[in-house]
Amino acid sequence: MILISSGPTREPLDPVRFLTNASSGAMGFALAAAAKASGARVVVVSGPTHRTPPAGVAVVRVTTALEMRREVLRRVARAHAVIGAAAVTDWRAPRVAAHKIKRYPASLRLTLVPNPDIIKDAAARRRPGQVFVGFALETRRAATLDYARAKLVGKGLDLVVANGSDALASDRIRATLVGRGWTRRLPSQPKSRVARIVVAEVVRLLA
Ligand code: C5P
């Protein structure tokens, strides 16, 4: 089974407001389609998205990072590979206001707490033979590969897919694969093709 986290997470501030990011969920669903096409059973834990998931994959819908973490971790032991493609919202409000925060003509000070690192927590439960893949989206182009290598080691992953923020609003992505001791720069191309390359790499690592 290949387990994929996908899409953004949404962190409520009050009953009508939330923090999130510009992730569409397109990359996660492209990975799910590629993994399915490789013959694997696929489970996607998806944050809120209007995209349609590929046929034949199980989709577990979640809203917040804490929900995503719970649904990912309860399936890690059964996964051969885990791909963290979700753009997890990194902070959340520690308490959600019970009622809509009233507008008032002054600054609003929000206290946010960090969300847990889902793919890192998943990889910490690693069993022999499992493969863990993360993404690394950076806006500092020059440092992207350094950050990606740091994530590879810091999160205990086997592969990191590094990309720029231009991928967020697009169905194309320019990615660099960063493995243990190697990098492979890919040209800008549709997410579906990058997904097939990533899944082929996962299959190679599993073998
Ligand atoms: O550290 P950074 O957020 O850049 O790492 C990105 C990678 O880590 C992605 O694979 C993303 O899905 C995963 N991640 C996670 N939980 C978080 C933050 C990131 O699983 N709270």
pLDDT digits 0-9 by tens, 30-70: 999 999 999 999 999 999 999 999 999 999 999 999 999 99
- Residues 6 or more apart whose CB falls under 8 angstroms from that of 80 comprise 1, 2, 40, 129, 130, 131, 206
How far does residue 190's CA lie from ligand 1's centre (Å)? 22
**In the Cβ-directed half-sphere of 182, how many Cα atoms lie within 13 Å?**
6
Decide: 151 in ligand 1 pocket, CB within 6 A.
yes
DSSP 14: E
User: What end-to-end distance do the CA atoms of the chain give, in Å?
Assistant: 14
In this structure, what token pair is assigned to residue 166? 């231009």
Residue at 139: amino acid letter: T
pLDDT digits 0-9 by tens, 128-174: 999 999 999 888 888 889 999 999 999 999 999 999 877 777 889 99
**In the Cβ-directed half-sphere of 105, how many Cα atoms lie within 13 Å?**
0
Residue 134 dihedral angles phi and psi, to the nearest 5°: -125, 170
Decide: 162 in ligand 1 pocket, CB within 6 A.
no
Q: Is 163 a catalytic residue?
A: no
Global pTM exceeds 0.85: yes
